[in-house]
Amino acid sequence: MAPNFQNRIRCLREWMEHAGLDAILVSHAPNILYLCGFSGSSGALVVGREWAVLITDGRYDLQARAEVKTARVRIYRGDPLDAVGKVVEGRRLRTMGFEAHHLTVAQRRALGRAVRNSVRWKQVPGAVEALRAVKDSFEIAELRASAKLASRVMEQVVPLLRPGIRELEVAAEIDFRIRKLGASGPSFETIIASGPRSALPHARPSGKKIRKNELVVLDLGAILRHYCSDLTRTVYLGKAPPRVRKMYNAVQEAQAAAFASIRPGIPGADVNQAARHVLDLHGLGRFFVHSLGHGVGLEIHEEPRLQSGAKTRLRAGHVVTVEPGVYIPGFGGIRIEDDVLVTPRGAEILTRPRGDFLEL
């Protein structure tokens, strides 16, 4: 299977028509990759109603011509945004969109100077991101593969945990295996947090040695052929006391409630609330200090969001993380995270194995 760039650009053009845009400047690299396949780090894609041009520099000449078939490739020296004026010169454009979230104030000013004054610039926040949120069949296959790879890394690394190993050593083992199994690298900085440090949801792995009778949070993800995965397991070294076991069961129950609530049409906020409600019942709600989850795809954090206030309704083809956690300062934390595909029938969990409590 191959990505259908023509279809993606067609969807963007439909949206442009509704938004009254003659062209749109796409400057965010994952959006460029999504729309035309260009994977270089320096580029700008200008999409008109009947034409599309990718601007990049000489370093990416060969690569761009190999990767991009659905847009013309034009090579310029320097910042690709500086060449936008040349690309739109002579075209009759009244209104042009730009990605408000992905331009600096200075870049926006420079565009105003580079493109003739009669063009009216319009901010378009999240236009391509909204398209990207719903994955096509190619993307679903790639996200499955990425989730499977992350799951294998987790299976390989959990048995390495033993008293005396340092958090950083475990993180190194994970990052090594991610590439060894064929991914281009981790999709975010691998988190290993043991003992009281597990109460820090985004702990950087440290030189701390993991000891007996400690919780260990392992949060890892891979980028496989540009698609991200995100997986967390929490294990206990030794036999867990009842308090830890109760906490774990509550988090697992919260995750199960979220899974059960997932179906097309439900707002992201309601899935978040389904998990939070369970933790509230266990008296742990105030220790759930982050949102339930986020979309995952070409970026590790993307649309849709599973958080309070998120009105976006889930649709078949959304892929999201479901990651409830409780973090008790001075004691420790537990998070269980899986990647989930929204299907017409509900949630399909892409990561393995089931997040049952492991005492090592």
Q: Which residues bind Mn ion (CB under 5 A)?
A: 230, 321
In angstroms, give the least distance from the CB of 184 to Mn ion.
19
Nearer to Mn ion, 70 or 232 (CB): 232
Nearer to Mn ion, 26 or 326 (CB): 326
Nearer to Mn ion, 56 or 321 (CB): 321
- Phi then psi for 15, rounded to 5 degrees? -65, -40
In angstroms, give the least distance from the CB of 139 to Mn ion.
18
**Neighbour count for residue 113 (Cβ, 10 Å):** 10
CA distance 126 to 128: 6
Nearer to Mn ion, 75 or 349 (CB): 349
In angstroms, give the least distance from the CB of 291 to Mn ion.
10
H/E stretch holding 348 reads: strand 346-349
DSSP H helical ranges for the chain: 5-19, 29-36, 61-67, 84-88, 105-114, 127-133, 137-157, 167-180, 242-261, 268-281
Nearer to Mn ion, 70 or 190 (CB): 190
In angstroms, give the least distance from the CB of 186 to Mn ion.
12
Cα separations (Å) of 277 from 116, 177, 283, 355? 55, 37, 10, 20
Closest CA to 39 of 50, 47, 49, 31: 31
In angstroms, give the least distance from the CB of 340 to Mn ion.
12
